[in-house]
Structure 1
Amino acid sequence: MRKLLLLLAVVLASCASVAADPRYTVVKVDLRTEKLALFLNDDTGVAFKRFDRLDAWLKAHGRQLFFAVNAGMYHADFSPVGLFVRDGREEASLNLASGAGNFFLKPNGVFLVTDDGPRVIESSEYPAFAKRGGVRLATQSGPLLLRHGALHPALIPNSDSRKIRNGVCAIGHTAIFVMSETPVNFHDFALYFRDVLHCRDALYLDGTVSALYSKALGRSDFVRDLGPILGVVSP
């Protein structure tokens, strides 16, 4: 636990100095040594909605929350819009439908974790991963900011649509979470993943509702109630 607190502090400081960009907070989670989990409801089926409620629930079960972010888009009842796999069990199915809004801006994508580590993939690629088995967690969102190093074709340079946004990419066994600290457009957000963090595939998790919890930073954002939550927890 002490190791993770030090890791988060070092990573945050390192990214700030290397990137020289105060617009972003970056947290790297090495899944060979840290446990990343996906959360939505407590034992009674009530959505957590907030980091402090998740933290309290984990403490009641003898565990600790070290880091968390909102993990994708959700309906009015807080259920996920797309795929939701928790502890190896699929609780919401893959959504390949067409529709309005960021989630349906194709291609969209899936962030998943298997025994081989974390991955960001295009949504239509997920069934092949599911057939192989071993998917421990997965959450679907959209758009896919980067695919094989290329920006999503709908992202507009100099767009005036600027929001607080968060997203994720994966390099090797490390999941890299990014939170913008000032409003940013999709295009600049994607460029940060590609040109600064050197990610080839990156997924947008959400905007406006984006929030971050960090025990190391003494930070627990609350913007509005959340649906799915990704968190680093003690075993």
Structure 2
Amino acid sequence: MKKRFLAVLFAAMMLAGCAGAADEQEGHDHATDQQAEEMVDDAEEIDAETEALVETMKEELSVYADYLPAEEAAAAGMYTITADGVAGGQEEWDAFMAGEHESVILCQYTQKGGAVLDYLMHREDGSYLILSDSSRDGYEDDEKMGEDFEVQKFAALKVFEDFKVQDDSTPVTIGVLTNEPALDADTFRTYWNEGSTAAHQAYLLYVI
């Protein structure tokens, strides 16, 4: 369900006009190319140790109420993103990106107003493990797309600032999990516009 939410948001970016041009920056790679290259071949494998870790992550997420307002998510230390931007947790996200925290929880909201939680962990081997929890997304069971919980493993995390889907669209900042160590903004833009992000194992984590 989070993918549907981000897809709608990203599609809206393509229709929005850009008030001023900004030079696009290269993505900040939060994993070394050497580390990432070593993990590409087995990035999707989930071993027994990882399965146990995922169960622990699920237990930690289970303490949060079914209805989770943005102010409560932010107060809990989540990197909280609403339609108006970052509502809290910027320090936690910055600490995670700086390597000071091994994990962080992102909270975003669907069109129904439900919270979607992404428990993101940077592991010792340099890979990223993400548990997406859409059990609070506000949609009825017959509207849901997939399971409430989805586990994925990626080789690298990229953040692209001043990112534009098209030349005349509004620049935003996006976070992307990927199994391509050298992924840059131009390449991801191509994947998005041709609708092949999943095929290239690129996961849009957030849009700000």
TM normalised by structure 2 equals 0.29
Pick 1 or 2: higher relative contact order, CA cutoff 8 A, min separation 6.
1
